[in-house]
């Protein structure tokens, strides 16, 4: 299944807040709440979909991350969130250099971003502590990112990142702690969903 390009608010209404998917707020449609008993499978599927749509991953990519997390030391769910949070497109979003993760992915694909002074055009590039992320020296790149930095709402920055808006620069201080993940999610349910496929 390819990357989702359909209506974003439809997913937000179904799954709840997904800050990485869109920066706009959906209109409040007042409908009578439907109380349906959810099966365990349904609950796990929803959590998995929430993770997938927030980070803009395909099913195959998410399964690959779950397998990598399963082989790593530490709790699988925590390691999975750390892997996803340390992706370059997500780091740009968290630094405020893009208002959504798809926008950050486009910046990377169009070669506007440097990591440690080198052009990186792979959105899934895994950032490491002490990585320095900057806009290219080109005027177009700097103007584009400066506009995003000025227009993006001032989010409480996570303790693993440092932003220098005037220089269009960000620094990765450390691996993210799970309490700073910007998404309300039960990662254990995602691991349970994939437990038979790992």
User: How confident is the model over 1-25, as a mean pLDDT?
Assistant: 58
What domains can be seen in the chain, in order of their start residue?
8-27+38-84+181-194 (1.10.1050.10), 88-174 (3.10.290.10)
Tokens of 23: 């920066």
Q: Which is more confidently placed, 51 or 148? A: 51
Note whether 135 and 112 are within 8 A (CB): yes
pLDDT of residue 13: 61
| Predicted confidence (pLDDT) per residue in 48-95, tens digit | 888 888 888 889 999 999 999 999 988 898 999 999 989 999 999 888
Cα 109 from Cα 106, distance rounded (Å):
5
Give the neighbor-by-neighbor strand order of the sheet with 169-172: 118-119, 113-115, 132-135, 169-172, 161-164
Q: Which is more confidently placed, 160 or 19? A: 160
Note whether 184 and 17 are within 8 A (CB): yes
Largest Cα–Cα separation, the chain: 55
| Predicted confidence (pLDDT) per residue in 15-25, tens digit | 666 655 555 55
Cα 129 from Cα 166, distance rounded (Å):
22
pLDDT of residue 146: 83
Q: How many helices (H) and strands (E) would you count in the chain?
A: 8, 5
pLDDT of residue 123: 93
């Amino acid at each position: 299944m390819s990357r989702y390009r359909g209506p974003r608010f439809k997913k937000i209404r179904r799954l709840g807040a997904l800050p990485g998917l869109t920066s706009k707020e959906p209109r409040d449609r007042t409908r009578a709440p439907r109380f349906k008993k959810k099966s365990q499978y349904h609950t796990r599927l929803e959590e998995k979909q929430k993770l997938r749509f927030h980070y803009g991953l395909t099913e195959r990519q998410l399964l690959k991350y779950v397998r990598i997390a399963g082989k790593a030391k530490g709790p699988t769910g925590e390691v999975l969130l750390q892997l996803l949070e340390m992706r370059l497109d997500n780091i740009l979003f968290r630094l405020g250099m893009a208002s959504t993760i798809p926008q950050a992915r486009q910046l990377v694909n169009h070669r506007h971003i440097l990591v440690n002074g080198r052009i990186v055009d792979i959105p899934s590039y895994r950032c490491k502590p002490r990585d320095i992320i900057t806009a290219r020296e080109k005027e177009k790149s700097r103007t584009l990112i400066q506009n995003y930095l000025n227009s993006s709402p001032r989010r409480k920055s996570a303790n693993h990142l440092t932003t220098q808006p005037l220089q269009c620069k960000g620094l990765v201080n450390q691996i993210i702690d799970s309490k700073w993940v910007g998404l309300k999610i039960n990662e254990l349910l995602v691991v349970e969903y994939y437990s038979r496929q790992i």
